Chains A and B, each alone.
Chain A
Amino acid sequence: MKKRILQRISDSAVWRSIFRTGIPDTDLKRSMLMFHNFFLHIFPVKMKRHGLQFSYTFCLGGISCLLFIVLTITGILLMFHYTPSIERAYFDMQALALIFNGKILRNLHRWAAHGMVVTVFLHMVRVFYTRSYRPPREFNWVIGIGLLILTLALSYTGYLLPWDQLAYWGITVGTTIMTYTPFIGNYVRFFLLGADEVGHEALLRFYVVHCVELPLIIGALMAVHFWRVRKDGGISGLL
């Protein structure tokens, strides 16, 4: 009886207009399910069995991606209650405690950010020890390094936004380190901060970079990264 109802629904014209395939009870339909769905079609229809082995990848790349998605969702929500100005930023942060779910969202965003730095780094460590960077995967390793740097940059630019003591001095020290770059140091700092000291201009710049620029770049690079994992034949073989 239950089966019949499911069958009826999945055979209906409306369902079919959305999902094309019915209940995936044959291998053909299972393949079609993967193939005809926009979100699933980034995965291959069939995978090598050892690629699913948890102890090989520890799902670290996937977890990094998941954390990035969590960060995007919570970040967009937080943007509704945040003003990038030195008069308001800190108090907007405090006011989150008064908003329903505000604190949870902020915590999620913060801990996911720290978690992503950890998982991306560990992912690199796993790729190194399984020697998965060998041809044809050399360039995907290079893209990965880019992703690691961008992840750190994303985390660091977000660090200024609450405009508390940690933020202010973390950014002051970090950007002063840049002034020790030979020749262009002072210009780099001036350009990043938009002024000689950390202030309103710096907050605005970091806000735009953190909320728009870096997520776009990292998203595009991640797409290339995944694309190459597939084009290179999925997860590398066991050593």
Chain B
Amino acid sequence: MDKNQDKVFVKDPNKTYGLMEIVEGTSPMVEKAPEDTVDTFPHYIILLTICSLAVTFALLLISLFFDAPLEDLANPLITPNPGKAPWYFTGIQELIHYTNKPVIPAIIIPLLIIVWLILIPYIDRKPLTPFASLFNRIFIGGEKRRILIYLFTLFIFGALIFTIIGSLFRGENWSFVLPWK
């Protein structure tokens, strides 16, 4: 055995590299690649399958037990009371009812939010000029992006709260009601 190994591991004095060891394996990959990667098949494919099946199954269960609503035939002469937008717009509807200028909550605010969202990756980057640095400090709050996180969290919770109020706490004629009563 020793003799055999000697034959494999001959050291060539002219070369800076040489064969060091033979390991068991199904491919010329050692245990860990420099980037710490794994094979997509099977590691990821299994995850994907489990996740897809779980979501589909949950969806099937929900659909078995809860029926999608279908109200009366559309009637242009009678507005249901309360007349509500789909739940993802009830937040805007709630805002609309505070003001007599619907253009502000319904058009201007959403547009500004979209523009702000689009701009986020373009202002949260390493500042190269003094101006960019100032800009960054005002809108992002430095490397830890304190201000940006604060604003974004505010946006999320604002949207959440108004949506919940609009869809659950509003009854006839958009007056305040408690959903459990």
Contact = CB atoms under 8 A, between A and B. Distances in A.
A193 interface: no
A173 B80 CA distance: 12
A156 B52 CA distance: 25
B74 A168 contact: yes
Given A66-B52, A174-B85, A182-B103, A167 B62 contact: no
B66 interface: yes
Interface string B74-94: 111011100111111100110
B114 interface: yes
A137 interface: yes
Contacts of A31: 39, 41
Interface string A187-227: 00000000001100000000000000000000000000000
A48 B152 CA distance: 29
A116 to B, nearest CB: 11
Interface size range on A against B: 35 or more
A26 B27 contact: yes
A63 B74 contact: no
Contacts of B67: 103, 107
A141 B120 contact: yes
Nearest to B63: A107
Nearest to B33: A46
Contact of B73 (A108, A152, A163): A163
A191 B111 CA distance: 20
B51 interface: yes
A155 to B, nearest CB: 7
B76 A47 contact: no
Given A133-B120, A169-B79, A174-B85, A70 B59 contact: yes
A129 B76 CA distance: 45
Contacts of A106: 68
Given A112-B59, A125-B156, A177 B44 contact: no
Given A152-B88, A180-B107, 20 more contacts: A25-B26, A27-B39, A30-B39, A34-B41, A40-B40, A43-B40, A47-B39, A48-B36, A49-B38, A52-B44, A62-B52, A63-B55, A90-B70, A131-B145, A145-B118, A156-B89, A164-B72, A167-B74, A169-B79, A180-B106
29 contacts: A27-B39, A28-B26, A43-B44, A47-B44, A49-B36, A49-B38, A62-B51, A63-B51, A67-B55, A104-B64, A111-B59, A111-B66, A115-B59, A117-B88, A134-B124, A135-B121, A141-B118, A149-B114, A162-B70, A163-B74, A164-B70, A166-B71, A167-B74, A168-B74, A168-B75, A169-B79, A173-B85, A177-B107, A198-B76
Give the top 4 A-B pairs by smallest Cβ distance, nearest first: A27-B27, A168-B74, A107-B63, A110-B68
